[in-house]
Amino acid sequence: MKFGVVVFPGSNCDQDVIDALRHTTEQEVVRLWHKDHDLQNCDLIVLPGGFSYGDYLRSGAIARFSPIMQEVVKFANGGGYVWGICNGFQILTEAGLLPGALLRNTSQKFICQNVYITPENTDLLPTSLLEPGKAYKIPIAHGEGRFHADADTLQQMQDNGQIMFRYCDANGKVTEDTNCNGSAHNIAGVSNAGKNVFGMMPHPERAVDAELNNTDGRLMFEALLQTVKA
């Protein structure tokens, strides 16, 4: 297996993702520079968090036009696996590879804290090893993480099993009070209709090491290896 992590100007979680992938899967991981046109025969592409192009215009709007994204779009449209985390999620919505949009948090503030999320659908690649209904503690760090889509799109996503995670409490209960950024229906992560492109605002790569007192994100990375290899 071979993983590719795209690096944009302003990416700041690329090394975290690389370390998490190497630590949990023990597979080859390569950096893919934003100006490149070569995905280097990777089996799965990750768009990491950060502030690509300084978040000018809006988060992900400029990165969407990077040369590497032309190849990522082709790869995804051909059935290749792509996972966007935080800013990577924003880029994927801007590129039209995922439905909806990420808007300013309802608090109008940047939020950096641990939250709990629960898998809505464990048939998706990153959630395939997770326990339905269980709460997983994963950090967030974003100012534009409020997932938004129109009512018809939200219903279509629900019917098609595209909701990946929802914000919840420590017991896995989804309530209005646990919605940290005002996302529609507490949505923290989604997939495309083809179930090969995934996006989430929380940072699982920051929750894979016992030395950080949190390994709740580890299973998401381990699932990549087992499912893609299968």
Query: Quick check: is 120 catalytic?
Result: no
Catalytic residue, chosen from 71, 94, 120, 205, is: 205
Sign, CA dihedral 22-66-13-202, equals negative
Cβ 49 vs Cβ 89: under 8 Å: no
Catalytic residue, chosen from 13, 71, 120, 203, is: 203
Query: Quick check: is 205 catalytic?
Result: yes
Q: What is the dihedral of CA 70, 48, 217, 126, to 10 degrees?
A: -10
CB atoms within 10 A of CB 165: 28
Catalytic residue, chosen from 13, 34, 71, 86, is: 86
Query: Quick check: is 86 catalytic?
Result: yes
Q: Which helix (H) or strand (E) holds 84?
A: strand 81-85
Query: Which residues are known to be catalytic?
Result: 86, 203, 205
